[in-house]
A and B are shown apart, each in its own frame.
Chain A
Amino acid sequence: MQYIDEFRDREKIISLVNRIRFESRKPMRIMEVCGGHTMAIHRFGIPSLLPGHIQLISGPGCPVCVTDRRFIDHAIAFSRQPDVIITTYGDLIKVPGSSSSLEREKAARADIRIVYSILDALTIAKKNRRKKIVFLGIGFETTAPGTAAGIIKAQMAGLFNFYVLSAHKVMPPAMSAIIQQGVPINGYLGPGHVSTITGSAMYEFIPDKYNMGVVISGFEPLDILQSIYMLVRQHEANQPKVEIQYSRVVRPEGNSQALELMNEVFELRDDWWRGLGVLPQSGLAIQQKYADFDAEKQFNIEIEPTREDKACICGDVLKGIASPADCRLFGKACTPTDPVGACMVSNEGACAAFFRYRKTAAE
C-alpha cells in the first residue's frame, strides 16, 4: 500500500535499529504523549527492537484516559433525558462512569450513536429537529478544531437543537506538569497529530526550561524508530531541541486555519486531568458567544456524585511512574471487557495496549 509500505520497509528498519544500538550509550526514558503512538509502538512491537537501556513509557496521551469521570457521568445524565440523542466517538462508549457507562445506558434504550466525525452528528441534528443532539467533544488540539467547525456550522445552519459537551484539552500544560511533578524522563516523542494543528513552536519551552528534547513523530515503525534515533543523538550529544521527524505532515507554524477556528470558539480554562490533577489553562471551554451550543450551559440537570475506584492506579500509569502490571486490578478485576479505569478502555490507553500486546512478562 502506497504511503504505508515505504514506512515499514524491512531493510531500512533493520539499519535504523542497528544505528540506535550502535550510537546509544546512556540509559534513556522516552515518553510518548499521543495515544496513537502508544498503539503503534505496541502493534509494531517497537520495544522488542530496542536495546534494554532505552525505555519507552506512555504518558497522558489518550484523551479518553485523562478525562474526568464526571464528564462520563454528565453524558450519562444527558442520555437519560427524554428526546436527547448522544453522539460520540466510539472510544468513549465503554468508559466507566461512577455507576454506569454509555454502553450500559445504550442497552437500557438510551439513544446513543457512534459517529466518525462531528459532521455526522450535525446530520443527525438536521434529521431530528425535535430532538436535542449532544455531541461529546473530546480530544486534544487534534479534534478540537473539528468541534469548533461543527459549532460554527450549526450556528450557520440554525441548528439550535445541537449541543456540545466539551472535555477538550490542550497538550503543553500536561507535558510541563509531567516534568514538574518529577517523572523521570529524558525526552518526549512529540505528538504527531496534535502538532499538525499546533506546529512545533509551542514545545520550545521544554528544551529551554527543562533541558529536554522533543521529536515530533509520525506513526509508522520507521517514523517512530527515526524519532527515537533523533532523541538518542540529542541525548548523547547533550543538545536537547525541538525537531520534526514527521515533516511530511507537520509544519513548524502548524495549521493556521484550524488554530483560528479553535480560538474563535474556545477559550482556555483550568481543567482536571486524571493522574495530574488540576492544570492551569489546560482545558477548552466554549466561549460565551457560542453559549447556545454549550450543553453545560443549556441543560440544567442533576449529576450523580463522582466515585472513583481507590485501588485503580490509572493516575500513576498516566504519569509513567507505574506500569500497568504494577496495578493490583490489572488483568484481574480490570480487563478490556470489564474495565475499571479509563486506561483499560480506550484502544489508545496504556493498560489496554499492555493487556492486548504484552499481557504477561512472557517477553
Chain B
Amino acid sequence: MTKEQKIMLGHGSGGKLSHELISSLFLRHFQHPALTAMTDSAVLNLPEAQLAFTTDSYVVDPLFFPGGNIGRIAVAGTVNDLAVSGAKPMFISAAFIIEEGFPIATLEQIVTEMANEARHAGVSIVTGDTKVVGTGKCDKVFINTAGLGFFHVEFPPFPGQESVKPGDVILISGTIGDHGMAVLSARNELPVQSGLESDCACLNELILEVRKASSRIKFMRDATRGGLGTILAELCEKSKFGIEIQHETIPVRESVRGMCELLGFDPLYVANEGKVVIVAESSDAQRILLALQNHPLGKDAAIIGKVVEQHPGFCWLKTEYGSSRIVDMLAGEQLPRIC
C-alpha cells in the first residue's frame, strides 16, 4: 500500500479491499497463528484455569499526543483492566471503526504502536474486525479491544471490595493527572506549552512485581477517566467503611498542578492511563510501596491514605493544615470556569 492511500467505504465492505487491508496491514503487524488462520473466531489453547474477560472502546482526540496515541491506549487500557483484576493478560481482540478518507499510513502507525505495546506487555492480538463508515459518521478512527486473561494458581483473583476493612492502607502507583492534562494541552485549544507526557502504559508487569511482594492485597483499580477521586468515592460508596486521604501525600507533577490551577481543575478528577490504586492490609504497606518504587512505572508511588470506620460511605480529604472536605465522584466533564 502506498503512503497516500485513504480508507474508502469499500475497505469495510467485506470484499476484496477489506481482505487486502486485513492481510497487508492487520495480519502483518499482529502476527499470531490463531489470527492468521483467518477463522471466524480464534481458537485458543488455555491452561485449565479461571479466566478474566474485559472489553473497552477507545476514542481519543487527538489520535497522537505526547507520550501516547490511541493504539497504545487501546492495548494498555485493556491489559490494565485484566491486570488489576489479578489476571495475567494473554489475548486481545482489536476492532476498528474507521472514517472514510482516513489515511492508511496513519492507520499503519496506530497498528504498529498496538503491535509494539502488545509485544511489550506479552499479550497477543488474535482476532479483530474492521468497519468503515462515511465521512463525518465517526471521528477518524475508533478502536475497541477485548482482552482475555487467566489466573495463575499462585495469584488468584483479588478478594475485592467486600474484603476491605478499616485499617487497610491505600496506595497510588505514581503521579496523577498526567494523561488528561497531556491530551488537553495537545488539543491546541490552549496557548500552553506544558511539556507534559501521558502516563499511558501497560501495568501488568508492575502489578506482578507487587503481587510477588505481598499476598495481602485486597483491591486494585486503574484510575482512568474520572481520576483518583472518582475511584475512591466509588470504593466507599455503599460500604460500611469510610476513606481518609492525606492531601500532601498524593503525588502530582508541578506542571499538572500548574495547568489545573490555571483551568480551575482538580487533579483528583483528571484522567490517568497508567496508574493503579491499591488497597492492602497495613502490615504489608511498606513492602508494596518498595515493590512499586523499584519498578520504573511505580517510582513515584505513595501511600496516600487509609480505610477508616468513621463517615462510612464517604471519602474525606485531609489537608496539611488540618481542614477537611469530601471527595465525591466527578459529575460529567470538568469544564473551565468563568472567573
B335 with A357: CB separation less than 8 A? no
Chain A CB within 8 A of B258 CB = yes
B339 with A45: CB separation less than 8 A? no
Which chain B residues lie closer than 8 Å to A43 at the CB level? Answer: 266, 325
Chain A CB within 8 A of B129 CB = no
B331 with A335: CB separation less than 8 A? yes
A355 with B328: CB separation less than 8 A? yes
Chain B CB within 8 A of A336 CB = yes
A93 with B335: CB separation less than 8 A? yes
Which chain B residues lie closer than 8 Å to A93 at the CB level? Answer: 335
Which chain B residues lie closer than 8 Å to A45 at the CB level? Answer: 317, 319, 323-325
Grouping DSSP codes into helix (H, G, I), strand (E, B) and loop, the B interface class, with mixed when no group exceeds half, is: loop
B331 with A90: CB separation less than 8 A? no
Q: A1-B257, A44-B323 are in contact. Are A63 and B335 (CB under 8 A)?
A: no
Which chain A residues lie closer than 8 Å to B311 at the CB level? Answer: 362
B258 with A221: CB separation less than 8 A? no
Q: A1-B254, A45-B319, A336-B332 are in contact. Are A139 and B339 (CB under 8 A)?
A: yes
A91 with B337: CB separation less than 8 A? yes
Q: Mark A200-240, 1 if CB is under 8 A from B, else 0.
A: 00000000000000000000010000000000000000000
B337 with A90: CB separation less than 8 A? yes
Chain B CB within 8 A of A321 CB = no
Q: A1-B257, A355-B328, A360-B314 are in contact. Are A46 and B323 (CB under 8 A)?
A: yes
Q: Mark B103-138, 1 if CB is under 8 A from A, else 0.
A: 000000000000000000000000000000000000
The segment from A6-14, A77-85, A259-267, A310-318 that touches chain B is A6-14
Q: Most chain-B Cβ atoms within 10 A of its Cβ — which of A13, A34, A89, A356? A: A356
Which chain A residues lie closer than 8 Å to B314 at the CB level? Answer: 359-360, 362
Which chain B residues lie closer than 8 Å to A64 at the CB level? Answer: 338
Q: A1-B257, A359-B328 are in contact. Are A35 and B322 (CB under 8 A)?
A: no
Q: Mark B3-47, 1 if CB is under 8 A from A, else 0.
A: 000000000000000000000000000000000000000000000
Chain A CB within 8 A of B1 CB = no
Which chain B residues lie closer than 8 Å to A359 at the CB level? Answer: 314, 326, 328
A358 with B326: CB separation less than 8 A? yes
Q: Mark B306-317, 1 if CB is under 8 A from A, else 0.
A: 000001001001
Q: A347-B264, A360-B314 are in contact. Are A116 and B190 (CB under 8 A)?
A: yes
Chain A CB within 8 A of B261 CB = yes
A63 with B189: CB separation less than 8 A? no
Which chain B residues lie closer than 8 Å to A49 at the CB level? Answer: 321-323
Identity of the chain B residue whose Cβ is nearest the Cβ of A338 in the assembled complex: B331
Contact size class for A?
35 or more
B336 with A116: CB separation less than 8 A? yes
Q: A39-B264, A362-B311 are in contact. Are A8 and B338 (CB under 8 A)?
A: no
Chain B CB within 8 A of A254 CB = no
Identity of the chain B residue whose Cβ is nearest the Cβ of A353 in the assembled complex: B325
The number of residues on chain B lying at the interface, defined by a beta carbon within 8 Å of a beta carbon of chain A, is: 27
Which chain A residues lie closer than 8 Å to B317 at the CB level? Answer: 45
Which chain B residues lie closer than 8 Å to A337 at the CB level? Answer: 331-332
Partner of B321, one of A10, A138, A143, A356: A10
Chain A CB within 8 A of B320 CB = yes
Partner of A91, one of B258, B261, B266, B335: B335
Identity of the chain B residue whose Cβ is nearest the Cβ of A354 in the assembled complex: B326
Q: A1-B261, A336-B331, A337-B331 are in contact. Are A13 and B339 (CB under 8 A)?
A: no
CA distance A337 to B332 in the complex (A): 6
CB distance from B5 to the nearest CB of A (A): 29
Q: Which of A35-75 contact B (CB under 8 A)?
A: 35-36, 39, 42-46, 48-49, 63-64
Which chain B residues lie closer than 8 Å to A10 at the CB level? Answer: 320-321
A138 with B338: CB separation less than 8 A? yes
CB distance from A249 to the nearest CB of B (A): 13
Identity of the chain B residue whose Cβ is nearest the Cβ of A46 in the assembled complex: B323
Q: Which of A336-350 contact B (CB under 8 A)?
A: 336-337, 346-348
B339 with A143: CB separation less than 8 A? yes
CA distance A17 to B335 in the complex (A): 32
Identity of the chain B residue whose Cβ is nearest the Cβ of A49 in the assembled complex: B323
Which chain A residues lie closer than 8 Å to B336 at the CB level? Answer: 89-90, 114, 116
Partner of B337, one of A120, A347, A358: A347
Which chain B residues lie closer than 8 Å to A42 at the CB level? Answer: 325
Which chain A residues lie closer than 8 Å to B321 at the CB level? Answer: 8, 10, 13-14, 17, 49, 221
A358 with B338: CB separation less than 8 A? no
Q: A35-B339, A64-B338 are in contact. Are A357 and B323 (CB under 8 A)?
A: no
CA distance A348 to B322 in the complex (A): 23
B189 with A116: CB separation less than 8 A? yes
Chain B CB within 8 A of A198 CB = no
CA distance A36 to B261 in the complex (A): 12
CB distance from B196 to the nearest CB of A (A): 14
A35 with B337: CB separation less than 8 A? yes
Partner of A48, one of B189, B254, B257, B323: B323
Q: A48-B324, A362-B311 are in contact. Are A90 and B335 (CB under 8 A)?
A: yes
CA distance A91 to B258 in the complex (A): 21
CB distance from A300 to the nearest CB of B (A): 28
B326 with A357: CB separation less than 8 A? yes
CA distance A35 to B257 in the complex (A): 21
Identity of the chain B residue whose Cβ is nearest the Cβ of A347 in the assembled complex: B337
Q: Which 8 A-B pairs have the closest CB atoms?
A: A90-B335, A45-B323, A336-B331, A13-B321, A45-B325, A337-B331, A142-B339, A357-B325
Extra A-B contacts (13), CB below 8 Å, given A46-B323, A89-B338 = A14-B321, A17-B322, A39-B337, A93-B335, A94-B332, A116-B190, A142-B339, A221-B321, A347-B264, A347-B335, A348-B337, A348-B338, A358-B326
Of the A-B pairs whose beta carbons lie under 8 Å apart in the complex, a sample of 11, sorted by A's number, is A35-B339, A43-B325, A48-B324, A48-B325, A91-B338, A114-B335, A193-B339, A347-B264, A348-B337, A348-B339, A359-B326
Chain B contact residues, CB within 8 Å of chain A:
189-190, 254, 257-258, 261, 264, 266, 311, 314, 317, 319-326, 328, 331-332, 335-339
